[in-house]
A = this chain, B = another copy of it.
Amino acid sequence: MTVHSLAPRPDQYSYVFGGREPLLGIRPGDIVEVSTEDCFGGRVTTPSDVPSEVVPFAELNPVSGPIEVEGAEPGDVLAVHFVSIVPARPHAISCTFPLFGALTATHETAMLHGPLEERVWFYDIDLDAWTATFRAKNSDYSLAMPLDPMHGTVGVAPAGGEVRLVVTPSTHGGNMDTPEARAGTTLYLPVNVAGAMLSLGDGHARQGEGEVCGTGLEAAMNSVIAVDLIKGGATGWPRLENDEFIMSTGSARPLEDAFRISQRDLVGWASDLTGLDALDAYQLVSQLGLAPAANVCDPNYTMVAKLPKWALKDAQAYGGVHDRLRSAAEEYMASR
């Protein structure tokens, strides 16, 4: 088991997917300990810092990477297993951001309203209790809630020579902002360029489905990932797998198109795994599927389509790579 470490210097963070030189080269099967900054690049340090003033717009949502994976070629699938995701600071930060979020006018849903109040919440993180504590700004309500750390932004270099801002999720992954991207889960990404060029960031100590206000509990993270490569396993869209579910994603607007993409992909995946024809797989997914929102605030919205693995009987996605990575993760954790 080869273990790498990636801790970018401030000037090494990336704000795009594609078009960047790798910070690290690894081989399939390797493990990477990676530190990621919060979506504010660490610039919001007190509750009185105004995010839109202290963070230049072009420096929101830094990602750590890219990581070049030896042997990865277009048409392959990159498997990224989240071994562990642990908040790096004793606080996480959430805020409303001007003209961003699901319940406000935005640059795309353009209106004549001015922005909502820009409000910042600091949550105390208690790693021992595994909680974050919400404190209301306008009353004395406080509430401890369980941590459920995840990475909002994980992706590879896009196809066709595109370079995309980190904020936009699409076929290459990116800012999908799904709470499903938690430790114990494997993310499958299509490889579009040699080396895949994986980057990740935008840790959330937890996040509700839909990321309604536009931010989760934004937190720098100390994370560990295990990376593998499936040769020739081409997938059109990012997929996820945990011990219970296979999951497809779709990122698009309007939200029903994100839904359609995710469901269409899940129907195809279930058909591949079970031998059901398209309509029989459509039926199976229709009766057993779950369909939570991931984000309804980013430039593309993301929906997740989930099918319980027991519905697949003995079939295993991608030759059982999830189980192998799960074992490798346990081995790594045991060795620390």
Chain A residues with CB under 8 Å of chain B are 15-16, 18-19, 58, 94, 96, 102-105, 107-113, 116-117, 119, 121, 134, 136-139, 141, 143, 145, 160-165, 206-217, 236, 250, 252-257, 259-261, 263-265, 267, 274-280, 282-293, 296, 301, 303, 305, 311, 313
The 8 A-B residue pairs whose C-beta atoms are closest, nearest first, are: A255-B255, A254-B254, A110-B264, A208-B289, A209-B291, A213-B286, A163-B163, A291-B293
Which single residue of chain B is at the shortest CB-CB distance from A285? B212
A139:B275 contact, CB within 8 angstroms: yes
Please name 13 pairs of A and B residues whose Cβ atoms are closer than 8 Å in the assembled complex, sorted by A: A19-B19, A104-B112, A108-B261, A109-B260, A116-B279, A136-B280, A139-B280, A143-B311, A143-B313, A145-B288, A162-B163, A207-B286, A254-B254
Among B110, B137, B163, contact of A18 (Cβ-Cβ < 8 Å) = B163
How far is it, in angstroms, between the C-alpha of A137 and the C-alpha of B212 when the chains are bound?
37
Which single residue of chain B is at the shortest CB-CB distance from A95? B283
Other A-B contacts than A111-B260, A141-B274, 6 sampled, CB-CB below 8 A, are A107-B236, A121-B283, A136-B277, A137-B279, A207-B286, A211-B286
Stoichiometry (number of copies): 4
With both chains docked as a complex, state the minimum distance between the C-beta of A333 and any C-beta of chain B, in angstroms: 27
Among B19, B283, B293, contact of A163 (Cβ-Cβ < 8 Å) = B19
How far is it, in angstroms, between the C-alpha of A280 and the C-alpha of B164 when the chains are bound?
33
With both chains docked as a complex, state the minimum distance between the C-beta of A254 and any C-beta of chain B, in angstroms: 4
How far is it, in angstroms, between the C-alpha of A286 and the C-alpha of B163 when the chains are bound?
30
List of B residues within 8 angstroms of A311 by Cβ: 143, 145
How far is it, in angstroms, between the C-alpha of A210 and the C-alpha of B259 when the chains are bound?
9
Given contact pairs A16-B160, A111-B104, A257-B110, A286 touches B212 in the complex (Cβ within 8 A): yes
How far is it, in angstroms, between the C-alpha of A236 and the C-alpha of B99 when the chains are bound?
15
B113:A113 contact, CB within 8 angstroms: yes
B259:A256 contact, CB within 8 angstroms: no
List of B residues within 8 angstroms of A15 by Cβ: 160-161
List of B residues within 8 angstroms of A119 by Cβ: 279, 283
A288:B208 contact, CB within 8 angstroms: yes
How far is it, in angstroms, between the C-alpha of A259 and the C-alpha of B297 when the chains are bound?
11
How far is it, in angstroms, between the C-alpha of A164 and the C-alpha of B160 when the chains are bound?
9
How far is it, in angstroms, between the C-alpha of A68 and the C-alpha of B112 when the chains are bound?
36
With both chains docked as a complex, state the minimum distance between the C-beta of A103 and any C-beta of chain B, in angstroms: 5
B96:A279 contact, CB within 8 angstroms: yes
How far is it, in angstroms, between the C-alpha of A242 and the C-alpha of B228 when the chains are bound?
42
How far is it, in angstroms, between the C-alpha of A313 and the C-alpha of B140 when the chains are bound?
13
How far is it, in angstroms, between the C-alpha of A168 and the C-alpha of B329 when the chains are bound?
40
